Amino acid sequence: MAASTALLTDRYELTMLQAALADGTAHRRTVFEVFTRRLPPGRRYGVVAGTGRVLEAVQRFRFTTAELDWLAEQRVVDDATLSWLADYRFSGSIVGYAEGEVYLPGSPIMVVDGSFAEAVLLETLVLSILNYDSAVAAAASRMTSAAGERPCLEMGSRRAHEDAAVAAARAAVVAGFAGTSNLEAGRRYGLSTIGTAAHAFTLLHDDEASAFASQLDALGIGTTLLVDTYDVTEGVRRAVEAAGTGLGAVRLDSGDLLSLAREVRAQLDTLGATGTRIVVSSDLDEHAIAALAAAPVDFYGVGTSVVTGSGAPTCGMVYKLVAREDAAGTIQPVAKASMAKVGHEGRKVAARRLARARAVEEVVVGGHDPSVQAWLPGPDMRALQVPLMRDGEVLPGWTGKDGVLRAVHRHAESLAELPVQALQLSPDEPVLPTVRVRV
């Protein structure tokens, strides 16, 4: 049985539950919304990632004897609350932007509809997944856009927590990366895995030629030989000498990659290895990738920058109560009153207005709850929210390997709709304006 996710939360969610159970408001129907008030500085769009992981985690949000015993021992909540938690299972509904979709400030990225008792407990779990995965995906999207038709490969596992490394690999692939070095991510989500040898393998052998010969014997001539352990020019010569002109690729992991790539391409061609490709790595980010656009590079290996969000390791997403049932059973819009933390009360739905197959604005609709739920986008709009979970059951196609594949396609199609300015790396405002409509 998969491990429970019930304690991947903050204490105040359980203490709120205890108070609400005691005063009778715990079972009121509520609507919680995930959104972000702003994008990281300089970013023009965000990318929704982690939705499939959220749905899987909500399914495993159960309080087993182990969790209940610890909560009792620590006196986190009272016996009545512990008894209620023993039977906890989220039975509400979740809608949201499809994983891989582009989002903007104020976008209703995910809407959780259920009793206060059931929905409030999910806040930290939902945000911890969406904030990290979406940050990685946004960075990865900028990198794949800068790379154009050249594939990006995720190699950042050693720069992240071991569980975050798996999540980062998944999120990077959602945003267009062609593969990952992380085997657990490959096993769990059906991702292509990549990797051959590090400098340690070359240093293990008495000389570079012996290391290359050993690797070729084990992996064949289609492998990638790392040629910059010592002298790059000699490394390339030895690589072709060992493998012949059919060598799959060489990798450069240090130095002036622009100059080195040009020199190595010329040397490979002179040696007759015209089909041998060049892989570059070494602290690449979207700006470094863009700077290599004119270089004869075939693949980019990206590590630290992608798993840390390339300077924006979180998205600032929040999980806020926007509507709740009153004592008479009527759904009422609510919002925190704050000049610094602006919120918009009430349930919302969203669509993207298109003109000649290009997005021109984000439309966010709010107002009277039944009217919002009945609202339909016009013929020039594409609805952005999709049902993800109904009556506590995850709908098919959003989790596991199928969910990743679906998210990859959604991101590619969503990005293709945006104005070309979205792909610029220079700082600017969000690429689309958001128009708010009340019904």
CB 225 within 8 A of CB 251: yes
**Residue type at position 433:** P
What sign for the dihedral angle of Cα 138, 144, 147, 153?
Answer: positive
Winning range, highest mean pLDDT, from 43-52, 366-375, 424-433: 43-52
Pair 160, 169: CB distance under 8 Å: no
Give the pLDDT confidence score for residue 42 in this predicted structure: 85
Is residue 332 in a domain? Answer: yes
Cβ atoms 63, 85 nearer than 8 A? yes
Same domain, 284 and 249: yes
Average pLDDT over residues 142-149: 97
Dig out the tokens for 270 from the structure: 């002179």
Beta strands, E only, 116-272: 152-154, 179-180, 224-226, 249-252
Q: Supply the pLDDT for residue 339.
A: 64
Whether 29 and 99 map to the same domain: the answer is yes
CB-based contact 47:102 (threshold 8 Å): yes
Instruction: Determine the length of the chain.
Output: 439
Among residues 260, 291, 322, which one ends one of the domains? 291
CA quadruple 161, 166, 170, 172: dihedral sign: positive
Instruction: Categorize the per-residue pLDDT at 341 as very low, low, confident or very high, splitting at 50, 70 and 90.
Output: low
Cα–Cα distances (Å) from 93 to 33, 107, 193, in that order, read 12, 18, 35
Residue 154, domain member (yes or no)? no
DSSP 126: H
Q: Helix 232-243 and helix 257-270: axis angle, to 10°?
A: 40
For 337, list phi and psi in degrees, rounded to 5. Answer: -95, 110
Bridge partner residues of 154 (DSSP): 180, 302
pLDDT confidence of residue 238? 98
DSSP H or E stretch at residue 40: none
Tokens for 401?
A: 């390997």
- Does the model's pTM come out above 0.85? yes
Domain membership flag for residue 175: no
119 and 220 both lie in a single domain:
no
Q: What is the pLDDT, as a whole number, of residue 93?
A: 98
Same domain, 332 and 421: yes
What share of the chain in percent tops pLDDT 90? 95
**Gap between the Cα atoms of 341 and 332, Å rounded:** 20
- Note whether 214 and 262 are same-domain residues: yes
Per-residue pLDDT of 181-231, as tens digits, reads: 999 999 999 999 999 999 999 999 999 999 999 999 999 999 999 999 999
Q: What pLDDT digit, counting tens, does each position of 67-126 carry?
A: 999 999 999 999 999 999 999 999 999 999 999 999 999 999 999 999 999 999 999 999
Structure confidence at residue 162 as a pLDDT band (50, 70, 90): very high
Angstrom distance (rounded) from CA 68 to CA 62: 10
Q: Would residue 177 count as lying in a domain? A: no
Q: What's the mean pLDDT in 172-178?
A: 98
Pick the more confident residue, 338 or 213. 213
Is residue 428 situated within a structural domain?
yes
CATH number at residue 421: 3.20.140.10
The predicted structure's pLDDT at residue 342: 65
Amino acid 206: pLDDT: 97
| Domain's final residue, options 291, 325, 356 | 291
Residue 338's pLDDT band, with cuts at 50, 70 and 90, is low
At 364, the amino acid letter reads: V
Please check whether residue 32 is in contact with residue 112, taking contact to mean a CB–CB distance below 8 angstroms.
Answer: yes
- CA 99 vs. chain centroid, Å, equals 8
For residues 428 and 321, state if they share a domain. Answer: yes
Return the pLDDT at 335.
Answer: 85
- 211 plus 249 within the same structural domain: yes
Is there a single domain that holds both residue 210 and residue 251?
A: yes
In angstroms, the CA 10 to CA 145 distance is 37
Paired strand residues for 279: 251, 299
1 pLDDT above the threshold of 70: no
The token duo for 95 is: 């809608």
Q: Where is the domain boundary, 291, 322, 339?
A: 291
What are the C-alpha distances in Å from 324 to residues 31, 51, 124, 392, 425?
A: 6, 24, 20, 19, 41
Token duo for residue 432: 């689309």
Q: Domain range spanning residue 257? A: 195-291
Predicted pLDDT of residue 213: 98
- Residue 371 confidence class, pLDDT cut points 50, 70, 90: very high
For residue 130, what are the CA distances in angstroms to 109, 134, 191, 322, 405?
A: 10, 6, 20, 19, 18
Q: What is the CATH number of the domain that holds 280?
A: 3.20.20.70
Residue 6 covered by a domain = no
**Inside any domain, residue 153:** no
Instruction: Specify whether 121 is located in the same domain as 212.
Output: no
Q: Are residues 268 and 382 in the same domain?
A: no
Instruction: Please state the domain count of the chain.
Output: 2
**What tens digit of pLDDT does each residue of 221-266 get?**
999 999 999 999 999 999 999 999 999 999 999 999 999 999 999 9
Neighbours of 100 (CB within 10 A): 27
Give the side-chain half-sphere CA count within 13 A for 300: 32
Q: Are residues 278 and 318 in the same domain?
A: no
Instruction: Output the pLDDT for position 337.
Output: 78
Helix (H) or strand (E) holding 302: strand 299-302
Q: Going by C-beta distance under 8 Å and a sequence separation of 6 or more, which residues neighbour residue 73?
A: none
Mean pLDDT of the chain, nearest integer: 96
Tell me: do 28 and 119 sit in the same domain.
Answer: yes
H or E segment to which residue 167 belongs: helix 162-174
Give the whole-angstrom CA distance, residue 121 versus residue 10.
9
Asked if residue 42 is part of any domain, the answer here is yes
pLDDT, tens only, 395-438: 999 999 999 999 999 999 999 999 999 999 988 899 999 999 99
